Structure 1
Amino acid sequence: MYSNASFFVYLFSSALLFAGINRFLKYRLTYLVSFSVIALIGWAHVFRGQFFIPIAVFLCFYVVTYLKDKKYLKTWQAVSLTLLPLVLVKLHLNNHWGMIGLSFMTFRAIDVLLYRKKEEAKSFITYFCYLFLPFVILAGPMYRWNTWVKDIRKPTFTMTTELFLQAMQQIFYGIVQKFLFAMLIDHYVISHWRHHDFTLTVGIVMSVAYSFYLYFDFAGYSNMAMGAGRLFGLNIPQNFNFPLLAKNPQDFWRRFHISLSEWLRDVIFMPVYMHLLRFAFFRNNKTCAQNIGIFCTLFCMGAWNGLERHYVISGILFGLISVSHNMLLWTAKRQPLLEQWLKYPVVSLCGRFLTLASAAVSLYIFSGMSPL
């Protein structure tokens, strides 16, 4: 969608039309009405020719949410049923459910199950727009339900010149990242080196090149989504914050794909960690509980894309790297000499390098272009 020039024409036209009509009506045009139209247009554009699939998925999600609200289903049952289409597709057991944006639609549907308040339960249109909002339907960022509700409940939205220019600037940054830097890396490095027989040199070049390609491609997409959202008054979250500056593996995931990392922390890490603390062993060994929660979270970061070998291995590496760092911190707290040694500038610099190197290798494996 964001690679199609006509999309931007429709986007800017609809944003200006939205602002113009709203001003003419003295700002009485509600967000819900506007986004209902936008979501339907986005649906028609993205899913043209296969309408029955998103209709079926949406109805399944909505029915599960309704049954959970009526207490016919427990939360874990509702979440499991919502995940079922995605799991079947990832296992290649039923590709009829496969469609663009299914993963992030599923995550948003789960976010509704976990965080929607009772007074919001009957809002069919709000739920529909949230699931099918065109800006984030394909690949995120992970726009949370509570943020969405807060945005659309604002009494008025005024398109100012400053806001328009900020949105355009962010979209321009995204275009440069995705269609200049990412395309150049793909064309001149990845497409050339990926056909070479694997050697250490090929592995290093491809690890670095793919990591930069993935960053610029996804950060560009995210910036365009955020800028597009701003044109309509939506606060779509930031997804990247200079991951090259990461000090350690934990800091890396606070900077890389931020919205999904935070969502997985809330949905996987915290429930796993809190559940383990119910047992006496883990209450006395909280670091062990942390490590299990960290590993499960980062394993899911890689494996939710699919259960192919490269996704599973990359997820395992994501988890092992972060668990190793957490154990290093745990050991340093009990060894003053080690803690002091880790604070030396040279050691800190080596830690930054190892963080980026391990992330690059993991992302290269994640790409499916490595021999693993």
Structure 2
Amino acid sequence: MYSSGMFFVYLFSSALAFALINRVLRHRLTYLSALSVLAALGWGYIFQGDYRVPAVVFFSFYLVATLKEKGWLKTWQAIVLTLLPLFLVKLHLNHHLGMIGLSFMTFRAVDVLLYRSKKEGQNFLHYFCYLFMPFIILAGPMYRWRTWMSDVSKPVFALNREQFLVALEQIITGIVQKFLFAMLVDSLVVQPWSHKPFTLTVGVVMSLAYSAYLYFDFAGYSNMAIGAGRLFGLNIPANFNMPLLAKNPQDFWRRFHISLSEWLRDVVFMPVYMNLMKFTFFRQNKTLAQNIGIFCTLFCMGAWNGLERHYVISGALFGAISVAHNMLLWSAKRSPALQRGLQYPAVAFLGRILTLGSAAGSLYIFSGMSPL
């Protein structure tokens, strides 16, 4: 979508048209009505007239949310039913439900089930716009329901010069990242080296190159999505925060794909950990409960893309590396000598190198271009 020049024509013309119409109407164009028109236009642009599958998926999600709201479904039952189309597609059991943006649309539908309050009630337009907002429909960032409701609580649609310039700057940054840096890394390193027989040198080069490519490509996409959202007053969350500065695996996931990491923390780690803590054994072994929660969370970070071998292995590596770091912290609390040793600058620097190296290796496996 962001690779099409026409998309940007639609984007900027829509933002300016809404701003001008609102000024002519003297701020009588409500914010929700503006976003509803935008979502409808996005629906038409993205699905190009083939509305059957997105309509079926949307109304299925809406029906499940309604049944849960009325108390006819428990939350866990509603979540399972909402995740079902995604599971069927990822497991290659049903290709008819496959559509652009199914993964993140499903995640947003789950977020509604978990975080929509009874006070907010059921508003069809709120739900439709949230699920089909075109800027984030393909691959995020993970825009949370509570943030959405905070954004759409504004009484009118407004776009001033300062907001426009900030949004434009972020979109241009994203274009440079995705269509200059990512394409250069891909064409100069990733594509030529991906055809070479695997050796240690090839593994190292591909790990570094693919990680750089993925960062620039995804950060570029995210910045364009965030900038596009700002044109319409939406606070779409940041997805990256200089992951090269990560001190350890935990810090890395606070900087890389931040929005999905935080969402998985809330919907995977916390439920797993809190349910384990109901058992006496885990209350006496909290670190073990933490490790299980950490592993499940980061395993999902890789495996939600599909159950192909490279996704499963990379997800397991994400989890295992973070569990190993958590165990190191646990050991350091019980060993003053180890605690002091970890504070040496050389050791801290080595930790940064190991963090980035392990992340790069895991992402190389994730790419599907490694022998694993």
> Amino acid of the residue matched to residue 151 of structure 2?
D
Q: Which residue in 1 is equivalent to 2:98?
A: 98
Q: Which residue in 1 is equivalent to 2:271?
A: 271
> Amino acid of the residue matched to residue 221 of structure 2?
Y
Deviation of 1:261 after TM superposition, in Å, equals 0.2
1:331-357 Cα shifts (integer Å, max 9, x gaps): 000000000000000000000000000
Q: Which residue in 2 is equivalent to 1:305?
A: 305
Q: Which residue in 1 is equivalent to 2:262?
A: 262
Q: What are structure 2's unaligned runs of at least 5 residues?
A: none
Q: Which runs of structure 2 are paired with 1:52-131 in the superposition (5 Å)?
A: 52-131=52-131
Deviation of 1:162 after TM superposition, in Å, equals 1.3
- Helix, strand or coil: the match of 2:96? helix
Alpha-carbon distance between aligned partners in 2 of 1:157 and 1:230, rounded to the nearest angstrom = 12
Q: Which residue in 2 is equivalent to 1:213?
A: 213
> Amino acid of the residue matched to residue 293 of structure 2?
G
Alpha-carbon distance between aligned partners in 2 of 1:351 and 1:28, rounded to the nearest angstrom = 56
| Structure 1: 4+ residue segments shifted above 6 A | none
Is 2:346 the counterpart of 1:351? no
Q: Which runs of structure 2 are paired with 1:1-372 in the superposition (5 Å)?
A: 1-372=1-372
Identity %: 73
8 Å contact from structure 2 (residues 243, 256) kept in 1: yes
TM-score calculated relative to the size of structure 2: 0.99
> Amino acid of the residue matched to residue 195 of structure 1?
H
> Amino acid of the residue matched to residue 120 of structure 2?
E
Alpha-carbon distance between aligned partners in 2 of 1:159 and 1:121, rounded to the nearest angstrom = 28
- Helix, strand or coil: the match of 2:111? helix
Count of aligned residue pairs for this structure pair: 372
Alpha-carbon distance between aligned partners in 2 of 1:39 and 1:69, rounded to the nearest angstrom = 24
Deviation of 1:157 after TM superposition, in Å, equals 4.0
Alpha-carbon distance between aligned partners in 1 of 2:205 and 2:48, rounded to the nearest angstrom = 39
8 Å contact from structure 2 (residues 30, 157) kept in 1: no
Alpha-carbon distance between aligned partners in 1 of 2:342 and 2:297, rounded to the nearest angstrom = 26
Q: What are structure 1's unaligned runs of at least 5 residues?
A: none
Deviation of 1:155 after TM superposition, in Å, equals 2.2
Q: CA RMSD in A?
A: 0.7
Alpha-carbon distance between aligned partners in 2 of 1:22 and 1:158, rounded to the nearest angstrom = 7
Alpha-carbon distance between aligned partners in 2 of 1:60 and 1:134, rounded to the nearest angstrom = 20
Alpha-carbon distance between aligned partners in 1 of 2:158 and 2:98, rounded to the nearest angstrom = 38
Alpha-carbon distance between aligned partners in 2 of 1:122 and 1:349, rounded to the nearest angstrom = 51
8 Å contact from structure 2 (residues 18, 34) kept in 1: yes
Alpha-carbon distance between aligned partners in 1 of 2:120 and 2:82, rounded to the nearest angstrom = 19
